[in-house]
Structure 1
Amino acid sequence: MLDFFRNHKRLMMFMLILVIVPGLGFVGIQGFRGFFDDSGNVAQVNGYKITRAEYDNSMRQQLDRARQMLGAQFDLKTFNTPEHRQQVLDAMVMQRVLADETLRLHLTASDAAVRRALLSDPFIASLKNPDGSIDLERYKQVLAAQGMTPEQYDASVRYSLAQQQLPSSIQSSAFTSKTLAQHLIELAEQQREVQSLMFRASDYLAKVQPTEAQLQAYYDAHRADFATPATATIQYLVLSPEVLAASVQPTEADLKKYYDDNLARFRTPGEVRASHILIAAAKDASAADKEKARQQAEKVLAELKAHPGQFAQIAEKQSQDPGSAAKGGDLGYFGRGMIAGGKAFDDAAFSLKKDEISGIVQSDFGYHIIKVTEVKPPVTQPFAEVKGAIAHDLKTQHAAKRFTDSADSFTSMVYEQAKSLQPAADKFKLPLQTAVVTPKPNAALAATSPLNNPQFLEAIFSDDAVKNRNNIQAIDLGNNTLISARVSDFKAAAIPSFAALKDSVRQKVITQQAAELAAKDGAARLAVLQKSQATTGFAPALKVSRNNPQGLPETSMSAIYKASAEHLPVYTGVDLGAQGYVIYRVNAVLPGAAMTPERLTAAQQQVAQVHAQSELEAYLDALRQRAKVKHFGSLEAAAANAGQ
């Protein structure tokens, strides 16, 4: 079908005109737009409508995070279920309910809180200049690329902080008593002395002689287990800034121009090391108190002029700055804006030469006398030293621009010239790579490999790619990466004949029947032991606990702790499947290790966290019950877009 469209574009355009134009006359422009409108609502919360587009975006974000976390183990079918889709919608509804409650209570975040959040953001930190200031132009450019202004970004951070206040206050107020924490620890560390009697399936292998009919029956019942997956040999192209960067080679002139235009980036501002003596006078102090402090500072300055070599000793006695007085007034190295004394302090300090003493400098803290002990002049890194870093930056910038400029053209070319990827490879200077893939991700490849992308694999094994051998459409893998491929050879999934698999089938049947025999004998022996209380044949005793199972499987631990401890010894059995069957003799119940105050405090905190989460969920449920929530019938329709 797609091939027909490609080869008859003019005919298809004519047919579309014949269909669309008369349709406008019957339903009108508004009705026609509504017919194709894809932005239906999936829910409404207190009058606010959650659109299908918002839902689709949230679903895609979750799928992208799952792909990154699970890698080759990611399976779209696990997430594209009615239950998971409902969970996504419920989370969006709950987020809106919490937002409404935040607005109702008039919660907000202070400017200081927003500033702290911004400065702790790795994104903001990456934009810092060598002198610690933020590169505002780069900041605006990055935000503009995301369709935001600095003011909008600040507002979003403030809104996010405000929404966090309710959950944070509930979680921080949770409390658990030491008695409860101690009881839970005792249960977790309670030991049980057990002995095991194993009926290994391997011991029964020689006793099993399956018939031909049994082998055939097993093969017929498990045919799908023996299937070999379909494989496709493919050629593929990856378009990304990283790939494009390989073909970008800035000239020497480009590098030098960038260096000259951005010289401030390569300059380390000057620093001084200084000491000071502070005679404190608060900003809001009376005029009399300020005058008294100034007179005291003038006396100290006179003493320094008389004994300039004793600055440190005088500072220890006279300075009222508790942070530096004990160190002879030493403030260490600092640049402009790093000392709380303000501009007047900076101007005085950076105007002094080494070992020179200032006059009296007034700040909001009082009166300072400053001595500069070391001077580090500004240093500009030479071009030769930063040339490599500049080349990397320019290649990255040019490659990112080339990707932006090329993405649409690449997408169109691999679709329009569907019988070969070579034209696209030549135009965009991309390496044409080959691989063999199956419908499921390859665990041997990295989780981030484009060949493991489920949407990509689904397109590879579509009829258009396999039967018509057309290029697949360019798949957006996220992170500015597009991939297209073409199947050059295909082998369908197949189920080998019974004759070819007979030996493999025999081994599986023998293993299964041996496990069944072991389980049968084990269950029979358990019935006898529960009556006779025998002890022979058991392995040496082992002490296990919930926190330290000593290597026992979870099924065994569950059976051991479910066994009644009122009348010991007690026997219990566990079917271990292909491994066989095991009987456990529980001899004694023993207390765990002695409780220490540190362990009790840690346990109390852990239990409090669980309790806090429970309290938060109860609060959110109450908010949701109070909210006016309405669901629409377009959720299932929205599922069609999942994973796209």
Structure 2
Amino acid sequence: MFDAVRNNKRIVQVFLALIALPFAFFGVESYVRNAGGDGDVAKVGKTTISAQEFQRAYREQQERLRGALGANFDAKMFDTPEARLNVVNGLVDQRVLLLEAAKGRLYASDAQLAQVITRIPALQEDGQFSQAKYEQALKAQGLTIQGFEAQLRQDLTLQQVVGAVADTGLVAKAQAAQVLRIQMENREVAAYLLNPSQFVAKAKVDEAAARKYYDANGAQFQVPEQVKAEYVVLSADALKAQSAVGDAEVKAWYDSHQDRYQQAEERRASHILIMAEAAAPAADKAKAKAKAEALLAELKANPAKFAEIAKKESQDPGSAANGGDLGFFVRGAMVKPFADTVFSLKEGETSGVVQTDYGYHIIKLTGIKPGKVKPFEAVKGEIEAELKAQAAARKYAEAAENFSNLVYEQSDSLKPAADKFKLTIQTSAWLTRNAAPADAAQAASAANPKVLDALFADDALKNKRNTAAVEVAPNTLVAARVLEHKPASQHPFDEVKAAIIEQLTRQEVLKLVKAEGESQLAKLQSGEDKLAWSPAKGVSRMSPSQLPREALVALFKADVKKLPAYVGVELPGNGYGLFKITKVERPEKVDDTQVARLQEQYAQFAAQQDTAAYLAALRKKYGVEIHKAALENKER
């Protein structure tokens, strides 16, 4: 409970996320003065969105996705006209809201701004706003007070615009109750499934039908153009393996950087806590303090009973059972008043009553581990790896240009570059133009999209020349050369005949199943029911059982004024289902808590719909023109 980092981590993250928000709005005046120019991606009213603004937002969106998806991030997913258009639409929505805020003279006051900033917990010290912490946090993000407050003021202003619309998303309790009753409606359903396997023997597909399909769908049987390539990878990691660092150099580094290997003093303490939160009434605090002072008096009379009293009286659930023992910790792990006391005591000494935001403590110092420097042998490997990495980075910087020149100047072979930089020539599998790297290792190989573009260029294909050195990752270059080339072709009919017959047979089976199912449904609806139904089960929208979605949709669309009611539905890949509805129950009363929850969900949905409609109206009001041609050039 006293781990300051653990307790404040989430608060700090929230604040850092707040101050690291992209500066999306820069003031109405700057937009109005922007008369446009070459490369503008959109026009909103009399203002424009420049290519620079778009590119900045595009990069920020990429980084957000990269952070969210991690190793699953694929830049190609984001490198499309549709993705670029989505970014522009986001900028347009921001702009129309800003223009509307200016027109309505909406403005966040200094008082509103101060209220938001001073209430951020990470900027408080002893329950009070700390100007020093505020300035330090902004400095860490490379922001000025003026810039951050202008950004925050703009965001608060725009929240007023959007909030005024979103807050109108209301749903009546009666509406929510009615929807809940519909969701909870239970239908007793029996089923009869027509299995495709029963119709396989009736499905006849001959070679002539397969040939006809093959001739009509040649594109399905295309084999794309392929290359097999050899390649070399120059990277800082590869050069690191070639680097050697002597023991003397490692020792010299250690001697000159001992401050990095200093272990802080640790202390072990036990405590007795009588809880009283900072916001507790004064009377409660006084009562807690009086109890702590009474316990302190008891301890002075019987010092050896500290653990016994802690087990009985301490209100810290994490340490009371252990006689108040908190183990060893460094100064920064505890809140300041507690830490200051612990690090001022002598071993075996007991403190007076110490107040923190958690209440009143009596603390006993039970152990001291003096600060010390980590021994050389303990950090030798760490230093050696760091020095190798530094050496490799320097070596890479020197080698990159020479490597690029060498693969270009001696373009008929990768061997000179491989020999000079002690690299291994590797061979790829067969690759197509759109082969996507399966993992991070393949991304630094001939399968990298940038390398593939170079391999399928005319010079590489026709003349078998080395590709240029391509940067596939930071401090990583790849050069490749085509070994073999296969033009695009089509699989011979005999090679795919069996697969075509299988596919057409499956399609024919499903047609037969559907025809039989529809015939059976017609008989059921005419009153002839001779099917061996499964036992009836209850089905509701909230508890759909194991039924496929297609069946559920059909069941709840069925007319149940007259029972039994019959439904037939195709089940993709699984044949045809016939269902008999024998009973329908809809509750008259529903739980108020569930109604309130549903009411809130629908209100949120309504607010989203209202906001979308409002943005559409603002776009129409101010006029929006998106220059899609400017988005085709992704580098802009």
| TM-score normalised by the chain length of structure 1 | 0.66
Question: What runs of 5+ residues in structure 1 fail to find an aligned partner?
Answer: 1-37, 118-132, 141-147, 278-299, 317-321
Which amino acid counterpart does residue 203 of structure 2 have in structure 1?
A: V
SS for the counterpart of 1:565 is: coil
Which amino acid counterpart does residue 552 of structure 2 have in structure 1?
A: M
Report sequence identity in percent: 32
Deviation larger for 497-506 or 215-224: 497-506
Deviations 1:462-501 (A, max 9, x none): 4333333233344444555444432211223321233443
In the TM superposition, 1:598-613 aligns within 5 A as: 606-607=601-602, 609-611=604-606, 613=608
Distance (whole Å) between structure 1 residues aligned to residue 428 and residue 592 of structure 2: 60
Which amino acid counterpart does residue 631 of structure 2 have in structure 1?
A: A
Which amino acid counterpart does residue 380 of structure 2 have in structure 1?
A: K
Contact persistence 1:71–1:448 (CA under 8 A):
no
Distance (whole Å) between structure 1 residues aligned to residue 155 and residue 228 of structure 2: 50
TM-aligned CA distance change 1:374 to 1:480, over 3 Å: same
Contact persistence 1:530–1:571 (CA under 8 A):
yes
SS for the counterpart of 1:237 is: strand
Deviations 1:293-328 (A, max 9, x none): xxxxxxx9xx99x98969989x99xxxxx99xx999
Deviations 1:120-140 (A, max 9, x none): xxxxxxxxxxxxx9xx9xx99
| CA RMSD of superposed structures (Å) | 5.5
TM-aligned CA distance change 1:493 to 1:427, over 3 Å: same
Distance (whole Å) between structure 2 residues aligned to residue 77 and residue 154 of structure 1: 37
TM-aligned CA distance change 1:500 to 1:409, over 3 Å: same
Match of 1:43 in 2: 42
SS for the counterpart of 2:439 is: coil
SS for the counterpart of 2:514 is: helix
Question: What runs of 5+ residues in structure 2 fail to find an aligned partner?
Answer: 1-36, 125-132, 273-293
Deviations 1:239-280 (A, max 9, x none): 444444433443323332333333223222224467999xxx
Contact persistence 1:411–1:474 (CA under 8 A):
yes
Match of 2:539 in 1: 544
What is the Cα deviation at residue 584 of structure 1? 2.8
Does structure 1 residue 192 correspond to structure 2 residue 177? no
Contact persistence 2:42–2:50 (CA under 8 A):
yes
Distance (whole Å) between structure 1 residues aligned to residue 324 and residue 544 of structure 2: 61
Does structure 1 residue 554 correspond to structure 2 residue 549? yes
What is the Cα deviation at residue 559 of structure 1? 2.1
| TM-score normalised by the chain length of structure 2 | 0.66
Does structure 1 residue 151 correspond to structure 2 residue 158? no
In the TM superposition, 1:130-169 aligns within 5 A as: 150-152=141-143, 165=156
Which amino acid counterpart does residue 631 of structure 1 have in structure 2?
A: E
In the TM superposition, 1:594-633 aligns within 5 A as: 606-607=601-602, 609-611=604-606, 613-614=608-609, 616-617=611-612, 620-621=615-616, 628=622, 630-631=624-625, 633=627
2:634 pairs, out of 630, 641, 644, with: 641
What is the Cα deviation at residue 392 of structure 1? 3.5
Match of 1:80 in 2: 80
Match of 2:427 in 1: 434
Match of 1:110 in 2: 117
Match of 1:123 in 2: none
Does structure 1 residue 382 correspond to structure 2 residue 375? yes
Match of 1:215 in 2: 210
2:201 pairs, out of 188, 194, 206, with: 206
Contact persistence 2:264–2:371 (CA under 8 A):
yes
Match of 1:418 in 2: 411
Which amino acid counterpart does residue 379 of structure 1 have in structure 2?
A: K
Distance (whole Å) between structure 1 residues aligned to residue 169 and residue 260 of structure 2: 48
TM-aligned CA distance change 1:362 to 1:586, over 3 Å: closer
TM-aligned CA distance change 1:95 to 1:371, over 3 Å: same
Contact persistence 2:433–2:456 (CA under 8 A):
no
Distance (whole Å) between structure 2 residues aligned to residue 42 and residue 488 of structure 1: 43
SS for the counterpart of 2:562 is: coil
SS for the counterpart of 1:641 is: coil
Which amino acid counterpart does residue 80 of structure 1 have in structure 2?
A: T
TM-aligned CA distance change 1:242 to 1:558, over 3 Å: farther
In the TM superposition, 1:89-488 aligns within 5 A as: 89-97=88-96, 104-105=107-108, 110=117, 113=120, 150-152=141-143, 165=156, 170=163, 183-272=178-267, 346=340, 350=343, 353-355=346-348, 374-403=367-396, 406-407=399-400, 410-439=403-432, 445-446=438-439, 449-450=442-443, 453-478=448-473, 481-488=476-483
TM-aligned CA distance change 1:199 to 1:440, over 3 Å: farther
SS for the counterpart of 2:463 is: coil
What is the Cα deviation at residue 235 of structure 1? 1.8
Distance (whole Å) between structure 2 residues aligned to residue 584 and residue 407 of structure 1: 70
Distance (whole Å) between structure 1 residues aligned to residue 417 and residue 602 of structure 2: 59
2:484 pairs, out of 479, 486, 489, with: 489
TM-aligned CA distance change 1:441 to 1:192, over 3 Å: farther
What is the Cα deviation at residue 639 of structure 1? 0.9
Contact persistence 2:222–2:489 (CA under 8 A):
yes
Distance (whole Å) between structure 2 residues aligned to residue 466 and residue 568 of structure 1: 71
SS for the counterpart of 1:584 is: strand
Does structure 1 residue 501 correspond to structure 2 residue 526? no
SS for the counterpart of 1:631 is: strand
Which amino acid counterpart does residue 625 of structure 2 have in structure 1?
A: H
Match of 1:528 in 2: 523
Which amino acid counterpart does residue 493 of structure 1 have in structure 2?
A: A
What is the Cα deviation at residue 563 of structure 1? 1.8
TM-aligned CA distance change 1:453 to 1:371, over 3 Å: same
Match of 2:51 in 1: 52
TM-aligned CA distance change 1:60 to 1:359, over 3 Å: closer
Distance (whole Å) between structure 2 residues aligned to residue 330 and residue 511 of structure 1: 71
Distance (whole Å) between structure 2 residues aligned to residue 632 and residue 215 of structure 1: 48
Contact persistence 1:420–1:471 (CA under 8 A):
yes
What is the Cα deviation at residue 155 of structure 1? 7.6
SS for the counterpart of 1:419 is: coil
Contact persistence 2:188–2:538 (CA under 8 A):
yes
Which amino acid counterpart does residue 88 of structure 1 have in structure 2?
A: V
